[in-house]
Structure 1
Amino acid sequence: MGISPSLGRIRDIDLPAGRIRYHDTGDGPPVVFVHGLLVNADLWREVVPGVAAVGHRCLTPDWPLGAHTVAMPGADLTPSGVADIIATFLERLDLTDVTIVANDTGGAITQILMTRNPERIGRVVLASVDCYDKFLPQPFTLLGKLARLPGSMRPATELLRIRALHRLSFAFGWVAKRPIPADIVDSYLLPSRTSGAIRKDVRHFLKSANARYTLEAATRFPSVTFPVLLVWAREEKLFPVPLAERMARELPDATLKLVDDAYTFLPEDQPDQLTQHILEFMREHVVR
């Protein structure tokens, strides 16, 4: 589970797919955060306080994407299955007019969610996310290939014990412009290193993660009725800015904001700018 006290109290909820552990802080209209592959709620540790401070309830789950601590054996952990888990989470907590904030792989899952189960969503923020034919992007397509080899996840996670490798492109080097604090890296990587059940979950997801999900979601963009904010790293290495510009054209009510001096992990590299864009967007598109 995320280790950052700024995220609020820890709660569990039992869903048909299994147990989801999440942080909950603040009061007011709900904001639900969706992280990506091999990270957890800690990704949002410097964004949540600013959003909660102005009168929002921030719910920050550990989704079953490899840095969670409660395994989900038997669950459908395909991209559409994870999107359905998020939809069920919103339903079980009876959250309505929700603002979804997503990053990286979480953005691919959110595109599936918003075109498949949009009923409880009021607005969406996609912050440098997988989209179109970039799911998964290079060099992370290698993870999908590895996942098809039995026993391959354990050596891959053990390799990342070597902290010197964390700045390479296949680890955090192309997603975070600056080194991530060691305790946060441990929060991200230890669950898959120490638990075979967690490795099985992430292998399940990786074996099924491919661009047909995001390309199919994109065909449904014209049906999206709520506003969408695209916050994109100008120096993005995985998802070039023209992809964001394309999404801004194809979504009926979308706005694009570019952020300097950052890579994909905007919540790590530029949390203050990301928070400001989220709050301005929610003020413009009034949260009831």
Structure 2
Amino acid sequence: MLRVELSSGPVDYQDTGGEGPVLVFTHGMPMSGTQWRKVVPLLGGYRCVLPTLPLGGHRSPMKPDADLSQAGMARLLGEFIEALGLDDVTLVLNDWGGGQFLISQGRAQRIARLVLVACEAFDNFPPGPAKAMARVTRIPGTVWLLTRLMRLPAVRHHPGGYGGMSVRGIPDDVLDDWFAPATRSRAIRRDFAKFATGAPGRRTLLAWSERLREFDRPVLVVWATQDRLMPREHGRRLAELYPQGRLVEIEDSSTLVPEDQPERLADVLLGFLADTGAEPAGVEPGEPA
């Protein structure tokens, strides 16, 4: 695992390296790059960079005064991309949708393409049942309690929570890894709570969403037909909002499309990249990958 020091604190990341076009993958709360463990091996010829953002699954806490609101997290993502000197980036989001606010915050200069995979959008921050969790995390000690409750199979696999994010089911060892940092560290729990309670009000979210129309580069919207958290109509609305948006729906999947349909998602992503001029390294333009 690599690490870069940013203004808010350290951010760990994985980097497959290589000369291919750069894909930056983000994750949900409190997840990590393991969210993409089934997809990245299918993307030969591309440099895949996977930061572990401070959404609760990070190993090292942020500075106490770090801005971990939705806008702050978007700016942190932009700073990460700048710190690594990445250009012509394809930014890929799943679950957490706040990476779109790089556009609203005027920090999208290095983003050449955007891929939105069943993620938060419009005023759906946080989505569904997570709204209640966000409210209770304002109470001291509730994140600690949540980490303990997540040890119980009936809680961790409940369809109204993480159990509803995948039709295949998230493996226990993966869930253990995602929740381990907050289980061990009070400072990580502090960061977890700051992000969970960091969404602005509905009016602000919708105003930020309107600014997404300014992004005039290719956008692929991939939506899951069995998603309980991200409304199906949001996929269509996003594809219409972005000037160069296109929509693909994937059957037999919930929010975590990389978990449920990794091969199908990789195929759709590779087709989009090829269509928009991001051929993999070692393949001549127009030649099959």
Relative to structure 1, is the Cα distance of residues 192 and 93 closer, same or farther in structure 2, using a 3 angstrom cutoff?
same
Alignment of 1:66-85 (within 5 A): 66-73=56-63, 74-85=65-76
1:259, distance to aligned residue in structure 2 (A)? 0.3
- Please point out which of 37, 40, 49 is paired with 2:29: 37
1:170, distance to aligned residue in structure 2 (A)? 4.0
C-alpha separation in 1, matches of 2:165 and 2:255: 5
* AA matched with 2:215: V
C-alpha separation in 2, matches of 1:142 and 1:148: 11
Alignment of 1:78-97 (within 5 A): 78-97=69-88
Partner of 2:276: 285
- Mean CA deviation greater in 29-38 or 211-220: 211-220
CA contact (8 A) 2:94 2:117 kept: yes
SS of corresponding position for 1:59: strand
1:171, distance to aligned residue in structure 2 (A)? 2.8
Alignment of 1:14-33 (within 5 A): 14-27=5-18, 28-33=20-25
CA contact (8 A) 2:74 2:102 kept: yes
User: Normalization by structure 2: what TM-score?
Assistant: 0.92
- Please point out which of 41, 47, 60 is paired with 1:57: 47
CA contact (8 A) 2:129 2:161 kept: no
- Mean CA deviation greater in 58-67 or 177-186: 177-186
1:201, distance to aligned residue in structure 2 (A)? 0.2
* AA matched with 1:172: Y
* AA matched with 1:114: I
C-alpha separation in 2, matches of 1:184 and 1:37: 13
Deviations, residues 14-42 of structure 1 (Å, cap 9, x unaligned): 11111000011041211100101111110
Deviations, residues 229-250 of structure 1 (Å, cap 9, x unaligned): 0000011211121111111111
Partner of 1:172: 162
* AA matched with 2:208: A
CA contact (8 A) 1:245 1:256 kept: yes
User: Normalization by structure 1: what TM-score?
Assistant: 0.92
* AA matched with 2:55: L
Partner of 2:285: none
SS of corresponding position for 1:127: strand
C-alpha separation in 2, matches of 1:91 and 1:72: 19
Question: Kindly, what percent of the aligned residue pairs are identical?
Answer: 36
Deviations, residues 205-264 of structure 1 (Å, cap 9, x unaligned): 112224545423211122111111000001121112111111111110000000010000
Partner of 1:3: none
Say yes or no: does 1:187 pair with 2:174. no
Partner of 1:47: 39
CA contact (8 A) 2:61 2:191 kept: yes
Partner of 2:144: 154
Alignment of 1:83-232 (within 5 A): 83-105=74-96, 107=97, 109-116=98-105, 117-210=107-200, 212=202, 214-232=205-223
Deviations, residues 86-129 of structure 1 (Å, cap 9, x unaligned): 10111111111100011012x2x111013321100000100001
C-alpha separation in 2, matches of 1:198 and 1:217: 28
Partner of 1:268: 259
Relative to structure 1, is the Cα distance of residues 193 and 170 closer, same or farther in structure 2, using a 3 angstrom cutoff?
farther
Q: Which runs of 4+ in 1 moved over 3 A?
A: 210-214
C-alpha separation in 2, matches of 1:45 and 1:270: 12
SS of corresponding position for 1:32: strand
CA contact (8 A) 2:163 2:170 kept: no
Deviations, residues 255-277 of structure 1 (Å, cap 9, x unaligned): 00000100000111111111111
- Mean CA deviation greater in 155-164 or 40-49: 155-164
* AA matched with 2:34: D
SS of corresponding position for 2:68: coil
Deviations, residues 3-61 of structure 1 (Å, cap 9, x unaligned): xxxxxxx211111111000011041211100101111110010111112x1x1111111
Deviations, residues 122-145 of structure 1 (Å, cap 9, x unaligned): 001000011112111121101111
